[in-house]
Amino acid sequence: MNKVLLLGGGRMIGPPLLEILTSSKNEVTVVNRSSPPKIRNIKYISGNRSDKNFINHLREISFDVVIDLSCYEPEDVLISLEAFSDRVKSYFLMSSGLVYLQDGIYPYNENHLRGENVQGVLYAKKKLENEEIAKTFSNRVNIILLRAPYLVGDPDFMNRLQFISNRLIKNKFIYIPGYGNSPYQILGPSEVARAINHLVFKSNTKSGFNPFNIGALETINSRGLVKLLAKYLGVKEFHMESIFLEDVGLSNENFSFTDLVFPFPDQTFILDDHKLRMTGFEYQVDVNKLISEFSKKFTEIAVNKSFPSFQAEVRASKLPNKREVLND
């Protein structure tokens, strides 16, 4: 049994991770500002991780492992590493596959060059900075770095699959960046949670810097994803149309999640997870199962839920020259 401190945990990976950690007989303490866990036998401490005094107060509690899911601001990561690096066996830091340099050499393994990614530049920059901060503490604690591909399904606060599904069931046009042929990986939060729990038991007490890609069993592209969602949602007729993001004021180089025509860019994104699988980790959910399980839940809630439209879609509908229809 490990005494685990979870920073964050209120959404995305957090809920399934808490379920798995507690079922594995860990003693779990959750720290965040406003999301008490709904699971019994978990200690909850309300507090702001940006508050250095608050984090230092937590040093008085004995933990074996810190799992840092709310690690966005580099200043926050520095505070918590300074507080816990000499007091725990392992520090898990959630990063992203978006830190890898887009150089056209796929798949990305853990030694691939890192650099500003063409997607979500600010997000990637901060994740890179967090990784570099963690590396400076790797002589004091075992740093387990976790890099994942696109996370989708339930729970997914970014609503990527919901975006597509809503347009399918309402028979709206679906605009695909480029021609929708670029392969990428999608992964459910529960699989990431399982990988973290697996590594908690595999991690040792030696200090070091150990990045792990959490990949996926398969790749998919945007056209295939729309068709798969349509299949499991029971939508027989739908309309996909190719569009270049630049034509509607968007770009792959600085992909926006606040104004979009589709929730994935026209870009290959594949992580090599051989290192993780060599530890004995096995995936339980393939793409078909992920989409099937999501579609069942979406069908239950979609009737009473509305999803936003974006101005970029309006601009796309007004383009004078229609692009190629991609249904076939």
Tens-place pLDDT, residues 177-215: 999 999 999 999 999 999 999 999 887 668 899 999 999
Task: Report phi then psi at 42, rounded to 5.
Answer: -120, 130
- What is the per-residue pLDDT for 24? 84
Domain encompassing residue 244: 160-183+221-269+286-317
Question: In 3D, which of 237, 235, 157, 222 has the Cα closest to residue 189?
Answer: 157
Residues 46 and 63 in one domain: yes
Tokens standing for residue 221 = 């592209």
CB 134 within 8 A of CB 143: yes
Same domain, 41 and 81: yes
Within 10 A of 61 (CB to CB), how many other CB atoms are there? 12
Domain-located, residue 76: yes
pLDDT digits (tens, 9 = 90+) for 105-122: 999 999 999 986 656 678
pLDDT band at 320 (very low <50, low <70, confident <90, very high): confident
The Cβ-side half-sphere exposure at 159, using a 13 Å CA radius, reads 16
Residues 303, 240, single domain; the answer is: yes
Q: What is the arithmetic mean of pLDDT over 212-221?
A: 94
pLDDT level of residue 139 (50, 70, 90 thresholds) = very high
143-169 b/e (C-beta count within 10 Å ≥ 16 → b)? bbbbbbbbbbbbbbeeebbbbbbbbbb
Question: Do 174 and 83 reside in the same domain of the chain?
Answer: no
Q: What is the CATH number of the domain that holds 233?
A: 3.90.25
- Total domains in the fold of the chain: 2
Are 293 and 144 in contact by the 8 Å Cβ rule? The answer is no
Same domain flag for 105 and 167: no
Residue 115 lies in a domain: yes
Q: Is residue 322 part of a domain?
A: no
Residue 266 has pLDDT above 80, yes or no: yes
Question: What CATH number corresponds to the domain at position 114?
Answer: 3.40.50.720
Q: Are residues 167 and 135 in the same domain?
A: no
For tokens 């596959």, name the residue: 97
Do 297 and 263 lie in a common domain? yes
Same domain, 168 and 236: yes
Burial of 1 per CB tally in 10 Å (0-12, 13-18, 19+): exposed
Lowest mean pLDDT among 9-18, 90-99, 120-129, 278-287: 120-129
Q: Do residues 85 and 116 both lie within one domain?
A: yes
Give kind and range of the element (H or E) at residue 167: helix 160-169
Q: Do 178 and 30 fall into the same domain?
A: no
Domain co-membership, 170 together with 246: yes
Residue indicated by tokens 């075992």 = 142
Q: Are 77 and 71 in contact (CB under 8 A)?
A: yes
Contact at 8 Å (CB) between 95 and 63?
no
